[in-house]
């Protein structure tokens, strides 16, 4: 099995590769390869600038490559609500990572930490962390995925909520979908095809692992957290439903979709999405029942 956190060895943190993502919730609630992107005219770095933060663990000033607001052009949103942009994958630049102590966090969750959390990060992450690269203008998918894994490890270590860990897993899953798209474009050329097929398999396996963990985390968060801080409720509900469909949890998906469709607060755009997903769900259930016959 590919570990969610496999590859942290690059950061000197190979001991963390086997951390369990939702162990805490269960206890308390009874619940590489370098892939180059397709070449394009506009440089990825044209969309980026350095944003400065103060690391809440070691208090050093850190610079994070950040996508300029409004610069990237949205092409479409897929069924998982993953936005696809022209010429750039902004997902690669959402994790803030301190090159001094290794503390990493998704920008949505950047903020102050408690003394206990700081100590936990210092003892578990910073002690063995080694920064793998010099500062870079752009990241490869592989580098970006490493940053997500580091932020997941930090979230586990500082006992972040299930919803935050689920959110990181979702974003990493989306990143792997984008990675798959980029690789498929490359595989279109015959010469690259053989090697690409093997990589595609690995990417899909890792994608499933992250997305399954996102589903488990969002389902756990529904039980324990109530409204999820800063996240639009019907969006999270929809994403949970679409992931439940992906992993064959049809009853769960059906229940959540009914909730979305009957809630007065659901936007008409989200209702349309939910209706679309319901059609897919009905087709899947029918397919499954026919197989049983």
Q: Which residues bind Zn ion (CB under 5 A)?
A: 55, 57-58, 98, 100-101, 103
Nearer to Zn ion, 133 or 223 (CB): 133
CB of residue 101 vs Zn ion: minimum separation in angstroms? 3
CB of residue 117 vs Zn ion: minimum separation in angstroms? 13
Residue 179 CA to residue 204 CA, distance in Å, equals: 10
Nearer to Zn ion, 57 or 155 (CB): 57
Picking from 120, 224, 112, the residue whose alpha carbon sits closest to that of residue 162 is: 224
Place of tokens 């580091």: 150
Nearer to Zn ion, 25 or 94 (CB): 94
Nearer to Zn ion, 49 or 59 (CB): 59
CB of residue 62 vs Zn ion: minimum separation in angstroms? 7
Picking from 230, 231, 273, 243, the residue whose alpha carbon sits closest to that of residue 174 is: 243
CB under 8 Å to 144, separation ≥6 — which residues?
89, 91, 92, 93, 95, 175
Picking from 257, 224, 262, 266, the residue whose alpha carbon sits closest to that of residue 239 is: 257
CB of residue 232 vs Zn ion: minimum separation in angstroms? 31
Nearer to Zn ion, 57 or 183 (CB): 57
**What does the longest C-alpha to C-alpha distance in the chain come to?**
63
Nearer to Zn ion, 22 or 129 (CB): 129
Q: H helices of 158-264, where?
A: 162-187, 190-224, 233-246, 250-262
CB of residue 110 vs Zn ion: minimum separation in angstroms? 12
Q: Determine the distance from the C-alpha atom of residue 162 to the mean position of all C-alpha atoms in its chain, rounded to a whole number.
A: 13
CB under 8 Å to 15, separation ≥6 — which residues?
128
Nearer to Zn ion, 113 or 285 (CB): 113
Taking CA atoms, 139 is separated from 144, 153, 240, in Å, by 6, 20, 29
CB of residue 185 vs Zn ion: minimum separation in angstroms? 37
CB of residue 96 vs Zn ion: minimum separation in angstroms? 10
């Amino acid at each position: 099995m590919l570990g969610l956190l496999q590859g942290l060895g690059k950061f000197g943190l190979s001991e963390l590769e086997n951390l369990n993502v939702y162990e805490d919730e269960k206890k308390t609630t009874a619940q590489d390869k370098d892939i180059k992107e397709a070449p394009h005219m506009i440089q990825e770095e044209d969309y980026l600038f350095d944003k400065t933060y103060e690391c809440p663990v070691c208090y050093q000033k850190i610079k994070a490559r950040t996508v300029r607001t409004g610069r990237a052009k949205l092409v479409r949103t897929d069924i998982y609500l993953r936005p696809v942009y022209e010429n750039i994958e902004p997902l690669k630049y959402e994790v803030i990572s301190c090159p001094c102590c290794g503390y990493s966090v998704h920008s949505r969750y950047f903020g102050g930490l408690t003394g206990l959390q700081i100590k936990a990060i210092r003892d578990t992450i910073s002690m063995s962390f080694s920064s793998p690269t010099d500062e870079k203008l752009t990241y490869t998918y592989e580098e970006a995925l490493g940053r997500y894994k580091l932020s997941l490890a930090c979230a586990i270590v500082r006992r972040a909520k299930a919803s935050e860990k689920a959110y990181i897993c979702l974003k990493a899953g989306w990143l792997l979908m984008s990675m798959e798209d980029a690789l498929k474009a490359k595989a279109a050329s015959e010469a690259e095809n053989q090697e690409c097929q093997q990589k595609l398999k690995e990417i899909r396996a890792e994608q499933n692992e992250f997305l399954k963990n996102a589903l488990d985390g969002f389902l756990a968060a529904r039980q324990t957290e109530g409204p999820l801080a800063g996240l639009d409720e019907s969006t999270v509900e929809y994403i949970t439903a679409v992931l439940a469909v992906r992993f064959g949890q049809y009853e769960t998906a059906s229940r959540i979709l009914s909730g979305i469709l009957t809630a007065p607060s659901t936007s008409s755009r989200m209702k349309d999405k939910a209706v679309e997903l319901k059609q897919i769900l009905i087709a899947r259930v029918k397919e499954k029942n026919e197989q049983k016959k």
